[in-house]
Structure 1
């Protein structure tokens, strides 16, 4: 028997005057959520009521309709309409579209209210993104869209940015194949092909976090905070056609510059322009470099200049500032601390006086014509100019050189006595040769024509012949240890003492100078730095560095002990025990490489019995304590002086704690883990046991020297709580 389908009857709709409507007590929405009533009212005023109200007739006790209607579903819309009526923007008798439910219906009012709120499906974010995009394509601006939907223009920009991701990735997001945070990460780079490439690389990976996606999309770009970008300026970079990648969803520190080659060209051009401006000062040479390595001035003599005198106006201004500074010091000398505004004013006066006292140096014009300048970038992206360096070949020649056969034109038997090998360039400005990387800027390669007298051997033949000679030399060196040691020394001495100029050698062995890119300010003044410099200077004074043949003869006649000492000195410049940031993408050092480096460093440290305490390192405020958290400071004091002393510092502020810890740790021999020998224990058990509790006298002295911050310490109780009883702390014994 066929079942007859039940027919559906819909409730009728009609317009009901606003003043005939009242809120129902059966509306299930009691908690405010979502768009505010005020915003909904503005939206209704702009576009009208998009959805009618669900109402039921109000009946009296006898079941007779009273002429009013209650609203179980649509209460927020009614409240928004009420606000418009209150603002006199809508008439009290304005007809309101309503769906009228039969009062005798079996469906409860609460049922209607619950269904209307639960049966709605929220719009998928991607549909919202695309809707915003469609509105913009039809002529609406971002501000207009934001105003229409009561959001900020930044949110509209973000939604539009999300809609511009590669269509293939939007489909993945629509199918819940990636999170919204991952989709946001892809907006940092507008290249759809690159976006898809990155997703293919990470979608099956264990690491597909948003930060990893951003990193891959920007790995070939340059941060806007990079000193090169700061030096050139983002506006100049964009004016030259550069593109800046931006992240609208999180702080991007100014974004990323997508064309590093363009940025480097702009940096070079700006540095060259600055160098040409300096040429008017009369320098012999100007070396331009984006980066100057540590030791760039090694082997060069620095000119001693005199500070330029102050003008009368500057002297008067400095005197006025100094008078005010001293007057404030005298006025507030009796107070423990300066008031904040006075302290700030003293700081301003100090900066102003320092600016006047930092005078440019004036050099001897006779020295300027043989000296040069380094032009580079400072770490903060500003221009850095280092004036007054004289190369060895530019030093004044002795008069005896003429007696040894020097011609009037400054050449000996056709050889340039300067020894620099540099030639005048057409790019020189006012007699100043401007170079970059040792080559004249803009100089064209020389095109020397063959005189036709005798053509050189074919290059292939020369390679074959020298291969025979190379193999023969290898065999001969292999059975001549003394010659091998001399050859190695010759190469290492050249690498160590001729760092300012490149030189070839028949030996593919070298010492690569390892420069400390991260170093404490006091490293150059440390005990070990002075020892290295003194040893280097002593060898440099003895070695005949100007001629390889003379250097060979010198090394040959050295006694074995001196040869080994020189070998050790040269090799020391290649020691690299530096911790570096691991780069898993190939550039720099890998995690396994860093582990191997540190392991080798431990082997060498044990072999030379290295002791960083004897080397002069101590935990100072600036060098260590102020750069670690308070827990680390307390740990250091605890290891060196015991738990009791550490607890005495626990209540101090960071600055006070670091200062007091420096005093306590001085002479203790304490070292952080990274400076300790792996084969040694920093403190033996006996020392640790002795340091577990602070003596009453030491603790009293420590408390007396602490800053008074209003806190009190019960010294006897404190010490007793930490005093060991037969090797066991009191609390544990109890």
Structure 2
């Protein structure tokens, strides 16, 4: 064994006396600030002492029966004892110590212990209790902060933790909960409530700080709540509202409103003031709806605002640009194909400039509601998710629509523009007459054809997990954020309510057989029983879950067109967008035959279909009997790639889908 080197440290002679005390005379003080894992790294420390000597003296005070108590340096004492037990040093080894000359208060001893323990970071629980003891000994938070070179905020945070239920501190020392979770309990000083919350969450595998805060703050409202932002926490406090602040949370997350009744009153008062201002502005009615996502709002129809007129000069400029744009587009489309390549490039560049200037002019037009519109419609005022006033202008209730219909039909209007828009459904107001041309096919046939289309898109979707995932996310985004994104009645072709489309009319088709095969395959893999299904899902890898999600999303897809359902337009537009994303070829899934199509349309429509397919046989076909003509059409169109219009995949962009949704809501 190497001989142990000694090294004493110079100390303040006013407080301490440097002495050497036999190792077997030293005892650890009961009040030592380090209580958690006091033996941490003792073996490593012993090896360091054996190699380099004792670099720091122990701080001691006299005890009884000739013993001396170690106030600071308990780990070094344990390391020395370990060396003595191993025979590296004798048990009476002289240990360099700093002996307190005068009797010291426990708070002073704790302070000395804290300073000494900066050699090895203390367990946070020990710091919490030591700081609390210093505070009880007469030290202020500022004194403690200055003494240890930390901010008062740090001291206050540690002192707050020291007020947590002692049993929770013990559990923290043992590793039963994390520091972050322990900090969450400081939201309340009620030890009984702290213990009650712990008893509820102790057995849960997901115990965390967020769960604790939620349970402790059930009777509070976070400052991040939109109602608090709407009122303003300063206004709330100026009305005498109490606030609780969590020292360990950042920003709004750590501030809680305690008087919910006062908060609701302030919200109501501000909304009432906003509503009064709207009434003075001339709206027929104003409703205060704190939550703009209220389903009753989504059911209302909406008048679109008008664009302010341009000045004569800007209108003339817009007319000139649009005229030049039409000429260039005609030239570039091939009507004038004598231009050189350079000339074509110049035209494309000029077209870009024109379109940019037109867009700039259009953006300069402010939207507004005319007095006539305000006299016929209403407005809702509420609170947006970020706490700002949220308005939905130009809403029509059922009685408003009925009055508007009567006015348009029976009364001369003092605003011809308003009357024309009400009759024909231009951008200014909703269409109430819903005048549509006679459809090419019967509603029953369209429904049957689009059932085949639904099955085909679903079959493709079930095999494309990326598009399926995007479609599911899109449906939920519209459900959650529809009003905020101004797509008030947005439609998704996925029916996530639990209902699935009826594909009976497509039974036996290629697509329905593909879907049925997948259904049987998944059913054979899934267990029976609610709990076992959940455990099965949890055990699967992500790839398996995404494949299953694709099939489930496919079974919820609905592209069936029925007579005037509320969401038909945007839903069908979205189905086309999904089909376009799948790059699917509908002719691979459906071929028109006499049975599924031609027998169900007129001879005139059959002849039109033949002409569209490039199979025009002349006027003689119109004299054929219907059955013969149907069978002829089936034979000639079979390989042409022609499809009835309801089965064609329209190229719907995402923007077009959302725009269609907004127009439907209008």
Short-chain TM bin: 0.3 to 0.5
* Larger RCO of the pair (alpha carbons < 8 Å, separation 6+): 2
Tell me the TM-score normalized by structure 1: 0.36
